[in-house]
Structure 1
Amino acid sequence: MSTLTGDPARSAVRPVAADRVRQTVVIASAVAALVGAVVGSGLVGGTPIPRVAGGALSADATLLAPAGPAFAIWSVIYGGLVLYAIWQALPSQAGRDRQRRVGYWMVASLLLNAAWILSVQAGLLALSVGVIAALLVVLIVTFVLLRAHPGGTTADAILFDGTVGLYLGWVMVATVANIAAGLTEAGFDGFGWSPHAWGLIVIAVVAVLCCALALWDGGRLAPAVAAAWGLAWIGVSRLGGALPSAPVAVAAFAAAALVLLVAVAARVAGRSHAPGPSRR
């Protein structure tokens, strides 16, 4: 394969028609996701997400619901997705192997994002659980592919790895909150266990999974920061909301701190053992 530069991470072949199609589909999918986001915000006729489905996704609907300000992270994620869509459409990106491997997975994530908003706007909470679970799977695959095929440029580190990392970390927490809302609406009684006990168990499971991800990916900060952000706002919601739970709040704060600590430790350990230039 001929390369554009001597750096294998930047290798690309001459673009073909399929590459142009992929670039166009990514752009169209990003537009669809943005339209969905605007509708979901309530700015153009849609119902704000916390008020859909009878408030099933509000900050006080379940013990695992983050406080409202947590969703500000979507502004950063959407900003990254828009910049990614523009960047991948550049002629220099058309034939890159990394874009080819991940492009349609990104399309799937953008369309599932829009589908999730449409499902909750329609009050179909059970459907939204399936959609966000599918989104989580797509993001995991995307993240694994990106890690397996490093980019080697600052643009890759920010627009690909950084954006997908934030997206994945947040959706890991959001999926748990969405499932809890769906189960609550369905009348799940927790097999007689206290909601507080279930909250502690789920927070512990999320913390373990996020720490395992941090160890596996060498301490990449984006997914850890996003997951910790979501966990911390669950803690805030349980301290100051209408559905208080001191045990869940403490567990959520502790989990957020643990995820960050493990990610930083894994990153430092990886750099100390890695030969040559330090990793991004």
Structure 2
Amino acid sequence: MTTAASHSSIGDTAGRRDVARQLVVLISSVLAIVAAFIGSGVIVGTPIQDAAGGTLDADSTLIAPGTGAFRIWSVIYVGMLAYAVWQALPAQRHDERQRRLGWWVTASLVLNAVWIASVQLDLLALSLPIIVALLVVLCRLFVILRGTAPKNRVEAVVADGSIGLYLGWVVIATAANATAVLVAAGFEGFGLDPEIWAVLVLAVAAAAGVALAFWGGGRVAPALALSWGLCWVAVARLTDEPRSVTTGVAALIAAAVVAAATAIARVRQERARQRSTGDESSAVSDERAVSG
């Protein structure tokens, strides 16, 4: 009797925690979208590109993406809201994958809101460690997604897809943020030409994209968002100030490298899956032959 009561109590506690997790993820996603809407300066306040003295504007540094790049935030926010609503459904309440994702998703949304606040308050130097922390949290989410499979296509889109877009974009956003902080601080590049530094930063972003591609088995969403950001860096440098053909071409090459690496990793993953399926079918056939 005591044992049964203990199990029931543990189950009730876990159930309450699951409900709390679902509600926190849902509420934090809504609040993050509201904070982004206000912080973007759509109605009140200063647009992000004009905040902090315009250091994050499209013409502030060689790594700054063109203004059109930021449209991806609408897609990311819609995706994260869709995930928040989906994970709040009763069917996902006790799902182990959602238990592992939930609090990290909340952390990412809170950090994003804090980043917006830091920029709006002209705390540009503080914005860098915040976005780095956001990148670390998103990498943690990617590890969880990589280690567990979605139950169905809906989960693959709203969870894996939305978080993947979020991660890919924050990779290039971190590079742009770091560059803006260094330029604002008066960093002169140890005598190296700014275009050399720009190419090096883009190479690092591309390397991160390649690593995500092979580590994640060719997941499309991170590569799509990162390539989108890189292409908009190219657009800004080829059509806007500070104009730099070298940086623009390097950004296009970086985007192509990320896309190619993702395609190769995806093909390798699919071939490995087919080999695994073939080996299992062969083993079943051999077992049947022996038993027959």
User: Which runs of no fewer than 5 residues in structure 1 stay unpaired?
Assistant: 1-12
Q: Report the CA distance between 1:205 and its aligned residue.
A: 1.4
Structure with the bigger percentage of helix: 2
Q: Report the CA distance between 1:216 and its aligned residue.
A: 1.3
| 1:173 alignment partner in structure 2 | 172
* Secondary structure class of the residue paired with 2:94: coil
One-letter amino acid matched to 1:73? I
Q: Report the CA distance between 1:46 and its aligned residue.
A: 1.9
Q: Report the CA distance between 1:199 and its aligned residue.
A: 0.3
| 2:110 alignment partner in structure 1 | 111
| 2:144 alignment partner in structure 1 | 145
| 2:229 alignment partner in structure 1 | 230
Q: Report the CA distance between 1:219 and its aligned residue.
A: 0.5
CA deviation profile, 1:211-233 (whole Å, cap 9, x unmatched): 12101111000000110000010
CA deviation profile, 1:93-115 (whole Å, cap 9, x unmatched): 11100010110000000000110
* Secondary structure class of the residue paired with 1:274: helix
Q: Distance in 2 between matches of 1:131 and 1:163?
A: 21
One-letter amino acid matched to 2:38? V
Q: Report the CA distance between 1:152 and its aligned residue.
A: 2.6
Q: Distance in 2 between matches of 1:79 and 1:186?
A: 35
One-letter amino acid matched to 2:63? L
Q: Report the CA distance between 1:129 and its aligned residue.
A: 0.6
| 1:194 alignment partner in structure 2 | 193
Q: Distance in 1 between matches of 2:35 and 2:177?
A: 18
CA RMSD of aligned residues (A): 1.4
Identity of aligned residues (%): 51
Q: Report the CA distance between 1:192 and its aligned residue.
A: 1.4
Q: Distance in 2 between matches of 1:59 and 1:253?
A: 17
Q: Distance in 2 between matches of 1:242 and 1:66?
A: 11
Q: Report the CA distance between 1:258 and its aligned residue.
A: 1.1
Q: Report the CA distance between 1:118 and its aligned residue.
A: 0.6
* Structure 1 residues 1-280: aligned runs within 5 Å: 16-275=15-274, 276=277
CA deviation profile, 1:21-78 (whole Å, cap 9, x unmatched): 1111111211221111111221231211110011100001000000000001101000
Q: Distance in 2 between matches of 1:262 and 1:33?
A: 33
Q: Is the 8 A contact 1:39 1:47 kept in 2?
A: no
Larger radius of gyration between Structure 1 and Structure 2:
2
Q: Report the CA distance between 1:154 and its aligned residue.
A: 1.1
* Secondary structure class of the residue paired with 1:16: helix
One-letter amino acid matched to 1:169? G
Q: Is the 8 A contact 1:34 1:78 kept in 2?
A: yes
| 1:8 alignment partner in structure 2 | none
One-letter amino acid matched to 1:228? S
Q: Distance in 2 between matches of 1:208 and 1:120?
A: 27
| 2:8 alignment partner in structure 1 | none
Q: Report the CA distance between 1:273 and its aligned residue.
A: 2.3
What TM-score do the two structures reach when normalised by structure 2?
0.88
| 1:6 alignment partner in structure 2 | none
- Runs of 4 or more, structure 1, over 6 Å off, are none
User: Which runs of no fewer than 5 residues in structure 2 stay unpaired?
Assistant: 1-10, 279-292
Paired positions, count:
265
